[in-house]
């Protein structure tokens, strides 16, 4: 058959076949020659091959596998779960658990304290029920501007829980930011930050009950429900001020 009569496809196939046969023949010849070559020649060839492989591997782009970003639903679920792990029930120490809980509060592990909204009916001595079912006695450490802080004895064994939430200052809140909360009955609620003013943080959350905490999508505390108006939160600056006052008073007591 005349090669000029071959079609383009046949020419391409013929070229591939010739290259394949040539490569196989070259490989066989190279191996055969290396078997009979002196040792130093074989070592030199091996070094060249190894160096070539290392150079190609170093030049090859690294494959970076990125984990998918969490969805908004995942963030909401995680934030509410974090809030639930810090939500506690307060019982009057005199009556114990024989009567219903008198309030709800939020456990701040780093401060070893319970924060809740101030109420006239709350006693100075309470029994705190943690999410894991354990009970620990606590005493009123400080109160003011709608907030009450309960503290524990130095030797009190407190349950291990999630890390302490960041207390988000009102200056860091943004209008339209997501606000999440658990009501006193344990129902989850979602809303947004509608206004930040002198009276506190106004959200679109329903009435979640006095003392219930509201968090952002990261699970950080943005306020405590005042209970007076649905969605109105006591800002975290008041909590921070009382925690500082409590720590200062404790330090002064130890110094004496």
Q: Which structure tokens are listed for 61?
A: 């782009």
pLDDT (tens digit per residue) in 92-124: 999 888 889 999 999 999 999 999 999 888 999
| Nearest CA among 208, 216, 214 for reference residue 78 | 216
Q: What is the pLDDT of residue 145?
A: 85
Q: Is 161 within 8 Å of 112 (Cβ atoms)? A: no
Q: Which structure tokens are listed for 71?
A: 């969805």
Q: What is the pLDDT of residue 254?
A: 42
Q: What is the pLDDT of residue 63?
A: 61
Q: What is the pLDDT of residue 247?
A: 61
* Whole-angstrom distance, CA of residue 94 vs CA of residue 77: 37
Cβ neighbors of 63 (< 8 A, separation 6 or more) are none
Give the pTM.
0.69
User: Environment class of residue 77 by beta-carbon count within 10 Å: exposed (0-12), middle (13-18) or buried (19+)?
Assistant: middle
Q: How far apart are the first and last CA of the chain?
A: 112
With a cut of 50, list the residues of the chain below it in pLDDT.
251-256
Cβ neighbours, 10 Å, residue 172:
14
Which architecture characterizes domain 85-163 according to CATH? Answer: Beta Barrel (2.40)
Q: What is the pLDDT of residue 201?
A: 94
Residue-range domain boundaries for the chain: 85-163
* Whole-angstrom distance, CA of residue 5 vs CA of residue 15: 15
Q: What is the pLDDT of residue 52?
A: 67
Q: What is the pLDDT of residue 255?
A: 43
Cβ neighbours, 10 Å, residue 159:
14
């Amino acid at each position: 058959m005349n090669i000029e009569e071959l079609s383009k496809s046949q020419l391409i196939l013929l070229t591939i076949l010739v290259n394949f046969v040539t490569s196989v023949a070259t490989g066989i010849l190279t191996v055969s020659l290396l078997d009979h070559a002196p040792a130093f020649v074989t070592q030199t060839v091996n070094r060249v091959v190894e160096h070539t492989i290392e150079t190609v591997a170093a030049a090859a782009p690294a494959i970076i596998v990125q984990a998918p970003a969490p969805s908004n639903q995942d963030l909401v679920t995680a934030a509410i779960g974090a809030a639930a792990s810090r939500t506690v029930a307060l019982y009057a120490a005199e009556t114990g658990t024989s009567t219903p809980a008198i309030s709800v509060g939020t456990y701040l592990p780093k401060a070893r304290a319970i924060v809740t909204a101030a109420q006239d009916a709350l006693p100075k001595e309470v029994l705190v029920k943690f999410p894991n079912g354990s009970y620990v006695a606590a005493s009123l450490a400080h109160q003011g501007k709608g907030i009450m802080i309960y503290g524990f004895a130095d030797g009190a064994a407190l349950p291990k829980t999630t890390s302490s939430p960041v207390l988000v200052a009102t200056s860091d809140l943004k209008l339209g930011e997501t606000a999440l909360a658990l009501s006193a009955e344990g129902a989850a609620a979602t809303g947004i930050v509608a206004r930040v003013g002198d009276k506190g943080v106004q959200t679109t959350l329903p009435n979640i009950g006095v003392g219930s905490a509201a968090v952002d999508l990261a699970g950080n505390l943005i306020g405590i429900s005042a209970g007076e108006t649905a969605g109105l939160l006591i800002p975290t600056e008041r909590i921070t001020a009382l925690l500082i006052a409590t720590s200062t008073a404790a330090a002064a007591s130890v110094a004496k």
